[in-house]
Amino acid sequence: MTQTEEARYQAVRGRDARFDGEFFFAVRTTGVYCRPSCPSRPPRRENVVFYPSAAAAQAGGFRACRRCRPDAVPGSAAWQARADASARAMRLIGDGAVDRDGVAGLAARLGYSPRQLQRLLVAEVGAGPLALARAQRAHSARILLQTTTLPVTDVAFAAGFASVRQFNDTVRAVYAATPTELRASGRNPVRASSSGIPLRLAYRGPYAARPVFDFLAARAIPGVEEMEGEPGARRYRRTLALPGGPGLVAVREPSGERGWLECTVTLADLRDLAAATQRVRRLFDLDADPYAVAETLSGDPVLGPLVEAVPGVRAPGAADPEELAFRAVLGQQVTVAAARTLGGRVVSALGTPLPEPSGTLTHLFPEAAALAESPLTGLGMPASRHAALHALATALSSGEIPLDPGADRDEAEKALLSVRGIGAWTAAYIRMRALGDPDVLPPGDVVLRRALAAAGAPDPVAWAPWRSYATQLLWRAPAPSRERNGS
């Protein structure tokens, strides 16, 4: 038994939730696989086998535990932090790339052949792209079966299965139950078409919800986003442009540590459930590892007190990477409030109207092509901002700058810097939020400069690989007023 396996087994014996999603264990005598924090009695060591992913455990012939629901754990933080081909592939699979483009399309986006990609992922996570997508479909199917009244046939195709037979076989293999039996074990269902699909989006460790909701509330663009309620009991709502049509998501601010955020998703096409879920997870940074962040930053004399004051700090991402890039440009050299106003004008003039408004939510954020083709007049922008926005829109609509979940972060930042009007700070901000890089310290940021100077100019290299979290902590810390930047 290797040292790693011994450490994993001790985590299982201790039901340590810090490792949920980082690995899974299966029990040979029962034929089930579990998350490390499973409340069942720990199995004997000789009966345990470890897997790096739920898909690998399923491929090994094990079914999901009914007590701990291992398919619902947060994703591994490694896939968000890493920038190699395996991590890019995992992010794209989570976004539904295999269901939309097939394995060949996924491989082509990464510059690999399907066979090379299969070998790469099997070596890294114990399962190939088809098995990983199958595990994701099974999870989507369980959610739809247990939370909606959709007919079983509709659930099968909405979850991404090619046939009802494939759906039935997968559900039986993964959950050791028929779709009807799985539905009977769920919560009270709702009508997905009217009330939306209720989800519990799991996270690991503590979650500093208030700073995240504060951050989103301050930047909510009218027509696309809104924040309802008072701090501590707020609800964030926004529109999403999804492959199958427009969607709406609503996320409630938790009042305590429950291990998940309550979310409701309303979709034009239920096949977009996995993509919508992943976009919300990225926006709220739900796959982060707060334990690893705290371990690195808590010993720093500058950041240590801030980590203690804000346990579970998160670095908000983006629900739509291209939208975030445009918003970063719109917010250059203006206040946050002014950036919101300008964003609202852009949405009103060029956004796609929803088929039916939902409260104050009326539009999708404009597509890159619409911004590239528009003269962008009458929006109250200086000529330099107008030129930068138009150049960025042209580059994004042509595919010159990829910002999808599988984008190479270094190449994307380099391409952004080639756009006239986008400087180092803006490119770094886009990299941090749109591409979800956890290790970004925006250069030239006045708040960061002042904080470092006041602390005697410590070396921020010691904060790697979590400098995006250090940035969030320093931005929130009491400090002299910053220079204008509405991003």
* Angle (CA) 222 272 188, round 5°: 95
Q: Is the pLDDT of residue 1 over 50?
A: no
Q: What is the mean pLDDT of residues 372-384?
A: 89
For the chain, the distance separating the N- and C-terminal CA atoms, rounded to the nearest angstrom, is 50
pLDDT at residue 65 greater than cutoff 60? yes
Q: Looking at residues 378-394, what average pLDDT do you find?
A: 92
Sorting pLDDT into bands at 50, 70 and 90, what band is 458?
Answer: confident
Dist. CA 482–CA 115, nearest whole Å = 51
376 is written with which tokens?
């962008």
**For the segment 23-51, what is each residue's pLDDT rounded down to a tens digit?**
999 999 999 999 999 999 999 999 999 99
For residue range 241-294, list pLDDT tens digits in order. 999 999 999 999 998 888 899 999 999 998 898 899 999 999 999 999 999 999
Express as a percent the part of the chain with pLDDT over 70: 95
User: In angstroms, rounded to a whole number, what is the distance separating the alpha carbons of residues 477 and 403?
Assistant: 30
Identify the residue whose tokens are 């739900």: 286
Least confident stretch, 55-59, 145-149, 236-240: 145-149
Confidence band (pLDDT; 50, 70, 90) for 483?
very low
List the alpha helices (DSSP H) in 208-320: 209-219, 273-283, 290-297, 304-309
Confidence (pLDDT) at 240: 98
pLDDT classification of 189: cutoffs 50, 70, 90: low
Query: Domains (ranges, CATH) in the chain?
Result: 3-64 (3.40.10.10), 77-147+150-184 (1.10.10.60), 192-309 (3.30.310.20), 321-352+366-476 (1.10.340.30)
Given a cut of 50, is residue 188 above it in pLDDT? yes
Report whether pLDDT(3) > 60: no
pLDDT interval class at 137 (50, 70, 90) = very high
- Consecutive H or E run containing 32: strand 32-34
Confidence category of residue 194, pLDDT binned at 50, 70, 90: low
Length of the chain: 487
Query: Which pLDDT score is estimated for 270?
Result: 87
Contacts of 299 (CB under 8 A, 6+ apart): none
Q: How far apart are CA 413 and CA 429, in angstroms?
A: 10
Q: Rounded to whole angstroms, how far apart are CA atoms 462 and 470? A: 11
Residue 102, pLDDT > 80, answer yes
Q: How confident is the model at residue 75 (pLDDT cuts 50, 70, 90)?
A: confident
Single-letter residue type at 162: A
Residue 379: per-residue pLDDT: 87
Bridge-based pairing of strands 260-267 and 197-202 is: antiparallel
pLDDT (tens digit per residue) in 396-428: 999 999 999 899 999 999 999 999 999 999 999
pLDDT band at 187 (very low <50, low <70, confident <90, very high): low
11 token code pair: 């985590």
Split at pLDDT 50, 70, 90, the class of 89 is: very high
Cα→Cα distances 52→38, 126, 145, 248, 476, Å: 16, 6, 27, 33, 36
| pLDDT band (50, 70, 90) for residue 361 | very high
pLDDT confidence of residue 178: 93
Rounded average pLDDT over 185-197: 65
Highest mean pLDDT among 8-22, 64-78, 431-445 belongs to 431-445
Whether residue 190 has pLDDT greater than 60 = no
Active site amino acids = 34, 445
So what's the pLDDT on residue 370?
95
**What is d(CA 437, CA 430) in angstroms, rounded to the nearest whole number?**
9
Reply yes or no on whether the pLDDT at 76 is more than 90.
Answer: no
Mean pLDDT of 128-152: 90
Is 50 exceeded by the pLDDT of residue 166?
A: yes
Average pLDDT over residues 109-127: 93
